[in-house]
Amino acid sequence: MADGSLVPDKCPACGAPLPPLGPSGTTTCKYCGSVYHPPPPPAPVAPPAPTLMASTVLPSYYNPYAGGMVPPHAIYSQPVQRKRWPAFLIFAFFLLFMILPMIFSFSTMGGGPVSYGPITVSIRASPGTSGTAPFTVYLTSTVTGGSAPFTYYWSVSDGSSSSQAGFSHTFLSGDYTVTLTVTDANGNQGTANLNIYAT
């Protein structure tokens, strides 16, 4: 086969594998004698010429010192200087509206008494409100509303009294009235009465 310009891995004429290129840059098929050489390297491609950017020439009115007229927006070209609040005013605002309310709220949490509405008082007698003399009764109370701490004052129509939250009293034969007055921390009072009958 005639010389060619392509150097394949196998001989195109007989299909036998081609040996590597020799010192002359060609190879010869050992079976059919065809000579092959590699194609010439491609010609170098010149890089594209750089594109030159045309310099931008500003109109003369952008340079008032060159004798041109000043554009209308050039009058306002200076940045607006914003007024800044002094640091002590910002601190005073923060102290007045953030810190002081928190301090007042913490001080009132464990401070003075807080009212929870009117005081309602009830009296309970154990074992009951009537019995055989001498009749011993244990008197207790239930208080709702008001502000703790509470002050108790028991008064019995036989002249007895007590300042405990609950107390025991023995009644002789007769009818008795037990009065309880409860005063809360704000001075509000609630009163309850209970009749005891001993035979």
Q: What is the pLDDT of residues 41-56, one digit of tens each?
A: 777 777 777 666 655 5
- CATH 2.60.40.10 location in the chain: 120-198
Tokens of 14: 């007989």
- Return the pLDDT at 58: 55
Domain 120-198 indexed as CATH 3.30.200.20:
no
- The answer to whether residue 149 scores a pLDDT higher than 50 is yes
The helix (H) or strand (E) run that includes residue 141 is strand 135-144
pTM of structure: 0.43
**57 against 42, higher pLDDT:** 42
The helix (H) or strand (E) run that includes residue 102 is helix 100-109
- The answer to whether residue 139 scores a pLDDT higher than 80 is yes
Tokens of 85: 């609040």
- Return the pLDDT at 51: 67
